[in-house]
Chains A and B, each alone.
Chain A
Amino acid sequence: MGDEAARAAIEAVWRLESTRLIAALVRIVRDVALAEDVAQDAIVAALAQWPATGIPDNPAAWLMTTAKRRAIDTFRSRARHDQAAAALARDLAETVDDDPGAGIDHVEDDVLRLMFICCHPALTSEMQTTLTLKLVAGLSAREIARAYLAPEATIAQRISRAKRTLAEAGAAIEEPSAPERAERLSTVLGVVYLLFNEGYAATEGEHWMRPALCEEAVRLGRILTALVPADPEVHGLSALMELQSSRLRARAGSDGEPILLDAQDRSRWDAARIRRGLAALARAHELAAAQDAEPGQYALQAAIAAEHARAASVDDTDWNRVALLYEQLGRLTGSPVVELNRAVALGRAQGPEAGLALLDQLEQLPSLRGYHLVPSVRGDLYERLGRGDDAAAEFDRAAAMTANASERALLQRRAIAARAQAGAAARPLGETI
């Protein structure tokens, strides 16, 4: 094997193994930073040996054994011949062999615990998402930097600050209690969804989407369904992300400019993802029904995405059902952004006036002040009513309020189009779609 090929193969092994390797090491050494260090040491050792010896039959066991040896060395050099080192040595003596499961027992619990640690409440949400990408998804600081379009140094700093914060907080590595588990699970779901959203609609910068972040979030969602198979919301989140991401290819044009739902070429939606999303949603509904529970916020959002996925076109969409689902979601979350979406759905289901009536109420809310989608939705509804000049003014307002460059460009284009519409001969109402 050539050096380059060997390196690529070892990187691939690392990608496949790092999550459970680090997860198991965290359980054993009870220190996130140390676990990661010794795991890295093991991969360095692999880089030195595998090009000559070939990849071992069980690379995971090899890496685990090597990492544990490093951990023992570290404990010894710290002159701490304490119980941990002794226990570790005993553990190692028992498990160094080629048995596939050796030393990597409780895989599911380990990985789940690692996710809980990455989402520790002492960390900021930025640190949580970054650490999850680093430790659970196995991405390097360079790759995370590329996905976030941030300098590598910033990401590296964020990671080391996160680890320091964890150490200072004395982050509990122990098994969380049942109520703690439930609470932290919802944090984990929140972090994964945050990651997805950051990729799906970047809050700032030049790019409309960062698909790499979406892809990692979808993958993390799938991992969670394997780790916590009985929780309806876990399947709901996975369904939501599969369904939303099925549209990734259709959401941007060749120059990366955004393409809105109305204008998307639905034949470019990923059918396999839609199928998986619908299956996960069905599972979420089944589990919720079996537990006599109402659908949660992710399952409801997934149900909305499913309505779009099932419809052959915008006109074919069951907008009444979408509006109803938004109403349910609004009751559950109390989120004004959900209400804003309901205004859009109502505008489609019952006509623009119905949408505007709800929007008038929403504009009183202080929390929506400064949110660019409010004038954007208003512009859209005016446009449907044939009030081109009013629509253009709203799109201009919205463009001035967004921090995302390609979204701003889109809104400016819509303003120009609305002005052109106003300039054209007055068209009968209702024919503007």
Chain B
Amino acid sequence: MTMIKMDETALSSETPPGVYEAMGAFAQEGRVNGTLVELGGLMPSSAGAIVSLANGRIKAVDGPFAEARELVGGYAVIDVRSREEAVELGRRLMQIHLDNWPGWEGSCEIRQIAGS
């Protein structure tokens, strides 16, 4: 699984249309080489919530989460044969942002889904 993380508080602009287009091309490529299982962008944290357990109590807090520095902005579930392939796809996701979103900074975290 790849998760694209970005600094939500520093975000002043809307996602440029070029990013959507490039993501569309990335998704189509992934379908044609069989690597893409699922791809999704996430709404800002103001539309989300955090449910937590601390000191034996469960509580729910609505977003946005002002204290959070980095938030997950999008994810993709990919099915690849090696860690290197996953890293290469992560590199391309960053390239898409570099090419289409001036000033954007963030990262792509890659985690292997357990058991696969």
Contacts and interface: CB of A to CB of B under 8 A. Distances in A.
Does A pair with B?
yes
Interface of A: 8-9, 11-13, 15-17, 19-20, 55, 57, 100-101, 107-108, 111, 137, 219-220, 222-223, 225-227, 249, 270, 272, 276
Nearest to B36: A222
A276 B113 CA distance: 16
Interface centre among A12, A15, A270, A276 (most CB of B within 10 A): A12
B35 interface: yes
Interface in B25-39: 25, 28-29, 31-35, 37
Nearest to B99: A57
B79 interface: yes
Interface of B: 25, 28-29, 31-35, 37, 77, 79-82, 84-85, 87-89, 91, 95, 99, 113, 115-116
A222 B82 contact: no
Nearest to B79: A219
B28 A12 contact: no
Given A100-B25, A226-B28, A15 B34 contact: no
Contacts of B77: 272
Contact of A270 (B81, B88, B99, B115): B115
A15 B80 CA distance: 9
Given A219-B79, A249-B115, A270-B115, A12 B88 contact: yes
A111 B30 CA distance: 13
A223 B95 contact: no
Contacts of B115: 249, 270
Contacts of A226: 28, 31-32
A111 B84 contact: no
B34 A222 contact: yes
B88 A13 contact: yes
Nearest to A58: B95
Contacts of A11: 82, 84
Contacts of B99: 57
5 contacts: A13-B88, A19-B33, A20-B29, A223-B33, A225-B31
Contacts of B79: 219, 222
Given A100-B25, A219-B79, A270-B115, A16 B33 contact: yes
Given A226-B28, A249-B115, A270-B115, A16 B87 contact: no
A396 to B, nearest CB: 37
Contacts of B88: 9, 12-13, 16, 55
Contacts of A137: 34
Contacts of A220: 34
Given A16-B89, A17-B33, 15 more contacts: A9-B84, A11-B84, A15-B81, A15-B85, A19-B32, A19-B33, A107-B29, A137-B34, A219-B35, A222-B34, A223-B33, A223-B34, A226-B28, A270-B116, A276-B37
Nearest to B88: A12
A225 to B, nearest CB: 8
B27 to A, nearest CB: 10
A1 to B, nearest CB: 12
B32 A111 contact: yes
B31 A223 contact: yes
Nearest to A212: B81
Contacts of B84: 8-9, 11-12
Given A12-B85, A16-B89, A223 B32 contact: yes
What 3 A-B pairs come out closest when comparing CB atoms? A226-B31, A219-B34, A12-B84
Nearest to B27: A226
A226 B34 CA distance: 9
B87 A9 contact: yes
A107 B95 CA distance: 21
Given A16-B85, A249-B115, A55 B91 contact: yes
A227 B32 contact: yes
Interface centre among B35, B81, B91, B113 (most CB of A within 10 A): B81
Nearest to A7: B84
A17 B77 CA distance: 19
A226 B28 CA distance: 8
Contacts of A57: 95, 99
